[in-house]
Chain A
């Protein structure tokens, strides 16, 4: 009996000690995308912990392909095991409308953040998510392959040269290639050997994704969906989009310059292996491509001849899960990540995404550290974010739009008739959107 009594007493003491210890230490859970994003977030989490001992940010990374689904499921079931959420820009409306996120109040000083990025994190007037960074899309090109084929590459930034913000502005405003020029060069650069393509002329980084391809139709003058957020008829199936989709179809079928169905990250891999002459992709690729040893240059994102210059923009935000039991602590980390000098710098150094923190943007434009390649590429990002960037459509049915769009463009790349694919996408989106429309 005595043994049991001692054991119980010991157990109680132990649990009390553990209880007090727990009261000091906090662990916040955050879901993020696997890969570079996790590495960068870990760096920020470590820096935060150094400044706030006792608070640990525990990251739960998921592969890109699974992320949205998992986030959806866990947020929907009001999972208290998540405190912070990595939110893709266009999903803020969807999450906010269903009560997944807690709004940030006036205690967060957002004056240092780019206004357009802040606005994209608002829903019905409240700030539901804070922008972590912006994105900048450029045209990477392999100088060696161009030289070997005897073709003049686009004007751009390369190693060994410097460029001031003013020079970059001029490059972006006057020397931008058109998609037609890209197609032309790509056909000359594609090499087939024994029935198989060994060098591809061009590819976009994200196969069939709305983020990547939105500018195609918009460059020709028509938005993806109407301003109400639920109409696609007259937009996605318009003449402009049909022309854009036909260009897309040709890339894969008639001209055969692009590889079909690339997985996440594989376009960059192809480019790094020297098997791809041009890639339309994000600046986050810079560190990896530098390391690959390929002699490459960076040109501004192309546009359609006679059309507007439009570039993809917007990136990831951080939100606080409404079901979290650690609201104050979560908000504090979110503030650190997005509005503190240290947090934003750590993030930028690791992930190399265009910042939304104005002091950092100023630094990029003026500091000497950004005069030379590849850092001057960010000045291109600055120009585009101020002059040509167009955010993704705001709609509570963004998930459905993204899916319908991707299906259409993947099908088109695989040979389905453009008209049919676009009509089907319009119909599917409108049917799905009607179910979530207020």
Chain B
């Protein structure tokens, strides 16, 4: 085998590899790309370059922002604000509640610890859908139907977040804690002044987890807010597409907005997100 043919082979191999990766990336990106492009076109032009397909289909031409204007005119801005509110409150409350629980499990031994820990983690592995219908009855009993509390409170305690904090706090060297205890520092101070600052990456992971969970919530907000006066974004989007089945560009505008906000959060923080989740999967 000559050096030249080896080089060609390697080049072809490199090319083939890029082709494979590019193809997969293309499939992942295409829907979002087409959505963005179509949301920037007038409604009549959305399907214009498809039969037959030309590359022009992937460019927003003619360019217009009328879809976005229309969407906000229909009150979508309020829906985005609603969802932001629910997501942020859940996030903050969740960090506190789950962080505290994770800290307790990591630092202390007590009777029934293993049982409670497993119960928390397993019960939260049961997806929301399984309990959505009975949860509706509970919410009704609490008088929280059509109340924002119904969207926030049940989602604050999260088994995965507890697990993340538990894992992290367990791995912090005990020396810090022991030295502080010898100095007579209270547990709360240890938590707040030593562990919390250390746990920033886990906090980011858990925060993203909670935020995205609420951002993506669909079935529960649909059931818990039957009057739909308070819409969150996924339900608002579904209702929008039911009511305006042929205003394509606005449908796309709505989905682009819904998708871009978590992506905007995720991309800069992806390192933490990946690390946090990847760490959780190992022990299983």
Count of interface residues, chain B, beta-carbon cutoff 8 Å: 14
By beta carbon, the residue of chain B nearest A207 is: B245
- How many angstroms between the C-alpha atoms of A65 and B241 in the bound complex? 11
- Given A261-B245, A266-B246: A66 and B51 interface contact (C-beta under 8 Å): no
Q: Are A65 and B227 in contact (CB under 8 A)?
A: no
Q: Which residues of A contact B243 (CB under 8 A)?
A: 63, 65, 263-265
Given that A63-B243, A263-B246 are contacting pairs, would A194 and B51 also be in contact in the complex, using a CB cutoff of 8 Å? yes
**Cβ-neighbour of B226 out of A70, A266, A269 (below 8 A):** A70
Interchain CA distance A196-B45 in the complex, whole Å: 13
Q: Is B239 engaged at the interface, CB distance under 8 Å to the other chain?
A: yes
Is B242 a contact of A65 with CB atoms below 8 Å? Answer: yes
A93 CA to B29 CA in the complex, in Å? Answer: 52
Bitwise, B225-267 to A at CB < 8 A (1) or not (0) is: 0111100000000010011111000000000000000000000
Q: How far is the CA of A196 from the CA of B51 in the complex (A)?
A: 8
| A62 neighbours in B (Cβ, 8 Å) | 227-228
Within 8 Å by CB of B242, from A60, A69, A194, A263, lies A263
What mask results when residues 265 to 308 of chain A are scored 1 for a CB within 8 Å of chain B, else 0?
Answer: 11001000000000000000000000000000000000000000
Q: How far is the CA of A66 from the CA of B239 in the complex (A)?
A: 9
- Contact call B239/A65, Cβ cutoff below 8 A: yes
Distance between Cα atoms of A148 and B227 in the complex (Å)? 47
Q: In the complex where A66-B239, A69-B226 touch, is A77 in contact with B245 (Cβ < 8 A)?
A: no
Given contacts A62-B228, A66-B239, A70-B227, contact A266 B51 (CB under 8 A): no
- A195 neighbours in B (Cβ, 8 Å): 51
Q: Which residues of B lie under 8 Å from residue A69 when comparing CB positions?
A: 226
B242 / chain A contacts, CB cutoff of 8 Å: 63, 65, 263
Q: What 1/0 flags go to B30-63 for Cβ under 8 Å of A? A: 0000000000000000010001000000000000
Residues of chain B with a CB closer than 8 A to A261's CB: 245
List A residues 218-277 near B (Cβ within 8 Å): 261-266, 269
- Measured CB to CB, the nearest residue on chain A to B51 is A195
Chain B: CB-nearest residue to A70: B226
Say whether B118 faces chain A, with CB atoms less than 8 Å apart: no
Asked whether A262 lies within 8 Å of B245 as measured between CB atoms, the reply is: yes
User: Which single residue of chain A is at the shortest CB-CB distance from B225?
Assistant: A70
B170 contacts the other chain (Cβ, under 8 Å)? no
B275 at the interface (CB under 8 A from A): no
Q: Does B270 contact A (CB under 8 A)?
A: no
Chain B residues with Cβ under 8 A from A265's Cβ? Answer: 243
Tell me, yes or no, whether A73 is within 8 Å of chain B by CB.
yes
The interface residues of chain B lying within 8 Å CB-to-CB of A65 are 239, 242-243
* B123 interface residue (CB < 8 Å to A): no
Cβ contacts A71-88/B at 8 Å (1 or 0 each): 001100100000000000
User: In the complex, how many angstroms separate the beta carbon of B8 from the nearest chain A beta carbon?
Assistant: 44
Which chain A residues border B51 with CB–CB below 8 Å?
A: 194-196
Give the chain B neighbours of A60 by CB distance below 8 A: 227, 229
Q: From A264, which residue of chain B is reached at the shortest CB distance?
A: B243
Closest to B244 in A: A263
Give the distance in Å from the alpha carbon of A170 to the alpha carbon of B227 in the complex: 47
Residues of B close to A70: CB separation below 8 A: 226-228
Q: Is the CB of B64 closer than 8 A to any CB of chain A?
A: no
A74:B226 contact, CB within 8 angstroms: yes
Contacts of A262 in B (CB 8 A): 245-246
Q: Separation in Å of the A84 CB from the closest CB of chain B?
A: 15
Question: Contact between B239 and A63 (Cβ–Cβ < 8 Å)?
Answer: yes
Contact A77 B140, beta carbon cutoff 8 Å:
yes
List, in ascending order, chain A residues with CB within 8 A of B47's CB: 196
Chain B hits for A77, CB < 8 A = 140, 145
* Cβ-closest chain A residue relative to B145: A77
Closest A residue to B47 by beta carbon equals A196
From B47, B140, B239, B242, name the one whose CB has the most chain A CB atoms within 10 angstroms: B242
Instruction: Select the residue from B140, B145, B239, B245 with max chain A CB neighbours within 10 A.
Output: B245
Contacts of B127-177 to chain A: CB distance below 8 A: 140, 145
Complex CA distance for A266 and B241, rounded to whole angstroms: 12
A74 to B229, CA, bound (A): 14
Please name all residues of chain A whose beta carbon is closer than 8 Å to the beta carbon of B239 when the two chains form the complex. 63, 65-66
Contacts of B246 in A (CB 8 A): 262-263, 266, 269
C-alpha spacing A229/B227, complex, angstroms: 31
CB-based nearest B residue for A263: B245
The CA of A264 and the CA of B244, in the complex, are separated in Å by 8
Question: Which B residues are CB-close (under 8 A) to A74?
Answer: 226-227
Chain A 54-70 residues near chain B, CB threshold 8 A? 60, 62-63, 65-66, 69-70
How far does the Cβ of B204 sit from chain A's closest Cβ, in whole Å? Answer: 37
User: Which B residues are in CB contact (< 8 Å) with A266?
Assistant: 244-246
Q: Within 8 Å CB of B245, what residues of A?
A: 261-263, 266
**A73 and B244 contact, Cβ closer than 8 Å, known pairs A65-B239, A196-B47:** no
Name the A residues within 8 Å of B228 (CB-CB). Answer: 62-63, 66, 70
Contacts of A73 in B (CB 8 A): 226
A77 to B223, CA, bound (A): 14
- Write out the residue numbers on chain B whose beta carbons fall within 8 Å of the beta carbon of A63: 228, 239, 242-243
Please name 10 further chain A to chain B contacts, defined as beta carbons within 8 Å, in addition to the given A62-B228, A63-B243, sorted by A numbering: A60-B229, A65-B239, A73-B226, A77-B140, A77-B145, A194-B51, A196-B51, A263-B243, A263-B245, A264-B243
- Interchain residue pairs with CB less than 8 A apart (30): A60-B229, A62-B227, A62-B228, A63-B228, A63-B239, A63-B242, A63-B243, A65-B239, A65-B243, A66-B226, A66-B228, A70-B226, A70-B227, A74-B226, A74-B227, A194-B51, A196-B47, A196-B51, A261-B245, A262-B245, A262-B246, A263-B242, A263-B243, A263-B244, A263-B245, A263-B246, A264-B243, A265-B243, A266-B244, A266-B245
A-B complex: 7 closest residue pairs judged by Cβ atoms: A263-B245, A195-B51, A73-B226, A70-B226, A65-B242, A194-B51, A263-B243
